[in-house]
Amino acid sequence: MANELTKREENMITIASGAELGDLIKPVIREIHLFDSFISGTTQLEDSSVLEKISEGDVLSLRREVNKFDDNAILLLNADGIKLGYVPEKDTLIFARLMDAGKLLKARITKITRKGSFMQIAVGIYLVDI
């Protein structure tokens, strides 16, 4: 019968035992768009060839850095953990506070514009909410 109720003996532990933790958490993860910015400091990279390997849509990680020029410095890293540059100093205060409080932030490349030998890389910054 199509509308018949059936009793199941499964519980959450049984259901969860056949799945990876990441598969269970993904449905409850939300990305909250906080701000649009760009990557600063790309002209100061030791190896700028890393910029040739990025694409729109790439997800970047953010990491705090002890930096004598900016107390709130935040690195932007590609998926391999290679430095692409920084969140601009004018935009770091709130993001640094969130990260220092244990919040997870990430960025996504939204646009890449070439201006001669310079690349302007726009990013959206997101709070990963679980």
Q: What is the pLDDT of residues 72-104, one digit of tens each?
A: 999 999 999 999 999 999 999 999 999 999 999
Residue of 90, 107, 84, 87 whose CA lies nearest to 31: 107
Structure tokens at 9: 């003996």
pLDDT attached to residue 63: 97
- % of the chain residues with pLDDT over 90: 65
Residue of 109, 130, 129 whose CA lies nearest to 32: 129
Are 29 and 126 contacting, i.e. CB atoms less than 8 angstroms apart? Answer: no
Q: Does pTM top 0.85 for this prediction?
A: no
Least confident of 45-54, 58-67, 120-129: 45-54
Structure tokens at 113: 């514009």
Chain center to CA of 103: 11
pLDDT band with cut points at 50, 70 and 90 for residue 48: confident
| Paired residues of 64 in beta bridges | 74
pLDDT attached to residue 115: 86
